[in-house]
Amino acid sequence: MERPAGGGSGDDDKTVPLLANKQDEEDVRSVGVGRRVVEENKKLWVVAAPSICARFSTFGVTVISQAFVGHISPTDLAAYALVSTLLMRFSTGILLGMASALETLCGQSYGAKQYHMLGIYLQRSWIILFGCAVVLLPIYLFTTPLLIALGQDPEISAVAGIISRWYIPIMFSYVWAFTLQMYLQAQSKNMIVTYLAFLNLGLHLFLSWLLTIKFHLGLTGVMGSMVIAYWIPVFGQLTFVFFGGCPLTWTGFSYAAFTDLSDIVKLSLSSGVMLCLELWYNTILVLLTGYMKNAEVALDALSICLNINGWEMMISLGFLAATGVRVANELGAGSARRAKFAIFNVVTISFCIGFVLFVLFLFFRGSLAYIFTESRAVADAVADLSPLLAFSILLNSIQPVLSGVAIGSGWQSVVAYVNVTSYYLIGIPLGMILGYVIGFQVKGIWIGMLLGTLVQTLVLLFMTLRTDWQKQVQIARERVNRWYMEENGRSQNSRGNP
């Protein structure tokens, strides 16, 4: 196995990059606040901007598709809403959550200058996520009977079954898309993701128009364009990585990817549970809405609100990724002060953006609904939900960033328990009481779930403020040291070294 550039002896590689640099910490104290803010924001936006663009593109593909489907028929729109916000959010939560283990591993290893380990972690994640995607296949193959068994409308469920089969190749694209993005952003090399994102979005808009409007292919045209749109960034990123884009971290395929999978699986499962519980939260909202009176209008209105909320969430999720990278990099490099400053900086920026959007959405209320539908009833329902949408946007400007702190620090298993309590023992029960018992319908469910999100946000904020970051540096050092020494030992044995 090749050594990373600039490597010396094995002992030097194992220790020097992982020791906290006292002189560096003193330099941090001596630098003025203004200069620290400028330097930190340069590092932040190198990761955050491409990450936000990539998420805007991915979500934009979904929204563009919804806009075209919404002009086909209300039934198709309701079925698309069920699949995209129920089925796809379910599988996305699992795959994205398990892939987020890479943010911890790659971020801390890169900060510790153990570069070649990033390529091995990437390959291990491919193996784990591909196996997980295969396990998820039956859900896509038997969508219609599953939805009917859950009490959904049979006509909507039948169309949802057709849409779900189109989503199978999209789900498998996530195996590579999620892991490659996290691998690249850990190195601050994700500008290639931005270029591909803009290409992808423009191409999907053109193909959707061509296949749906000009060739009159309807649902087939929209979904076919989606499949193409999701795979283009994957091939582009693979080409970048394989052909010299990451010379320090990608040294080719390695048999080491098949070793120590159990440790990676444990961290991946913790990450998966943590993010699944967050992403499935809104899925429960959609599922409960499907049981209400006039479910088609309620589902259409709710899916439009969630998609508008999703646009803002793409900014927050971009900051989530950037926070995970910045915290992991600084912990791996041994700088507790820089890790804390990075957290303060990104929380402040994300909240300011969220507050501006909060005011804008309160002002415009339901007027944006007509982008997605021609139905006056649906637009009126969206206008009625708009205040809750605005408060969701404000709260979601903070919560994902704090989740990014957890990912960068490797707290996934602890946060999973926090999510279970705040979401599923507080938010959903309150929502069901307000929605069904008191009779507030969709608004009641949404209010209850917002309260659950507020509880989770306050708990994560408390954890972040009370954390001993110097101890987190030590934990990161031990994690990177352990896996690096195990891998280095196997590498020496494979070459016949004593």
Domain membership flag for residue 162: yes
Domain membership flag for residue 9: no
Domain membership flag for residue 493: no
The alpha-carbon radius of gyration of the chain (Å, integer) is 23
Query: In the prediction, which pLDDT does 110 show?
Result: 86
Rounded distance, CA 329 to CA 408, Å? Answer: 8
10 pLDDT exceeds 50?
no
Q: How confident is the model at residue 6 (pLDDT cuts 50, 70, 90)?
A: very low
Domain membership flag for residue 15: no
Residues 6+ apart with CB under 8 A from 397: 312, 315, 316, 350, 351, 353, 354, 355, 357
* Structural domains of the chain, count: 1
Of the candidates 476, 464, 408, 467, the residue with the CA atom closest to the CA atom of residue 101: 408
The CA angle 28-31-33, to the nearest 5 degrees, is: 105
Q: 172 or 188: which carries more pLDDT confidence?
A: 172
Query: In the prediction, which pLDDT does 17 show?
Result: 41
pLDDT 10s digits, 242-261: 998 899 999 888 887 787 77
Query: In the prediction, which pLDDT does 461 show?
Result: 92
Q: What is the mean pLDDT of residues 8-16?
A: 37
Is the alpha carbon torsion for 370, 354, 53, 136 positive or negative?
A: negative
Asked which of 4-13, 182-191, 346-355 is least confident by mean pLDDT, the reply is 4-13
Q: Is 290 helix (H, G, I), strand (E, B) or coil?
A: coil
Tokens for 216, please give them.
């009159």
Q: How confident is the model at residue 25 (pLDDT cuts 50, 70, 90)?
A: low
CA–CA distances in Å: residue 194 to residues 231, 364, 415, 441: 15, 29, 30, 40
Report residue 356: phi and psi, to 5°. Answer: -60, -45
452 pLDDT exceeds 50?
yes
pTM of this structure? 0.76
26 pLDDT exceeds 60?
no
Query: In the prediction, which pLDDT does 254 show?
Result: 83
Ranked by mean pLDDT, the top range of 163-167, 191-195, 388-392 is 163-167
Q: How confident is the model at residue 158 (pLDDT cuts 50, 70, 90)?
A: very high
Q: Residue 99: which H helix or E strand, with range?
A: helix 88-99
Tokens for 32, please give them.
């003025």
Report residue 374: phi and psi, to 5°. Answer: -105, 0
The DSSP symbol for 244 reads I
The DSSP symbol for 101 reads H
345 pLDDT exceeds 80?
yes
Report residue 5: phi and psi, to 5°. Answer: -60, 140
Phi-psi region of 365 (alpha: psi -120 to 50; beta: other; left: phi over 0): left
Rounded distance, CA 369 to CA 391, Å? Answer: 18
Q: To the nearest whole percent, how much of the chain has pLDDT over 90?
A: 19
Rounded distance, CA 338 to CA 93, Å? Answer: 30
Q: Residue 34: which H helix or E strand, with range?
A: helix 33-70
Query: In the prediction, which pLDDT does 458 show?
Result: 93
Query: In the prediction, which pLDDT does 289 show?
Result: 64
Q: How confident is the model at residue 483 (pLDDT cuts 50, 70, 90)?
A: low
Domain membership flag for residue 286: yes
Query: In the prediction, which pLDDT does 363 show?
Result: 78
Q: How confident is the model at residue 484 (pLDDT cuts 50, 70, 90)?
A: low
Q: How confident is the model at residue 495 (pLDDT cuts 50, 70, 90)?
A: very low
Tokens for 160, please give them.
């949802």
Tokens for 313, please give them.
């969430």
Q: 418 or 289: which carries more pLDDT confidence?
A: 418
441 pLDDT exceeds 90?
no
Of the candidates 324, 298, 360, 272, the residue with the CA atom closest to the CA atom of residue 103: 324
Q: How confident is the model at residue 12 (pLDDT cuts 50, 70, 90)?
A: very low
Asked which of 170-174, 198-202, 255-259, 479-483 is least confident by mean pLDDT, the reply is 479-483
Asked which of 63-72, 279-288, 414-423 is least confident by mean pLDDT, the reply is 279-288
**Mean pLDDT for all residues in the chain:** 80
Ranked by mean pLDDT, the top range of 16-30, 213-227, 413-427 is 213-227
The DSSP symbol for 3 reads P
Ranked by mean pLDDT, the top range of 149-153, 284-288, 375-379, 400-404 is 400-404
Report residue 136: phi and psi, to 5°. Answer: -80, -15
Query: In the prediction, which pLDDT does 497 show?
Result: 45
Domain membership flag for residue 12: no
Q: What is the mean pLDDT of residues 447-460?
A: 90
Q: What is the mean pLDDT of residues 327-332?
A: 87
How far is C-alpha 64 from the chain's CA centre? 20
267 pLDDT exceeds 80?
no
Domain membership flag for residue 6: no
Domain membership flag for residue 170: yes
Residues 6+ apart with CB under 8 A from 421: 455
CA–CA distances in Å: residue 240 to residues 167, 179, 196: 26, 14, 11
Q: 342 or 57: which carries more pLDDT confidence?
A: 342
Residues 6+ apart with CB under 8 A from 409: 104, 327, 328, 331, 467, 472, 476
CA–CA distances in Å: residue 182 to residues 56, 188, 325: 16, 10, 9
Q: Which domain holds residue 441?
A: 34-485
206 and 228 Cβ atoms separated by less than 8 Å: no
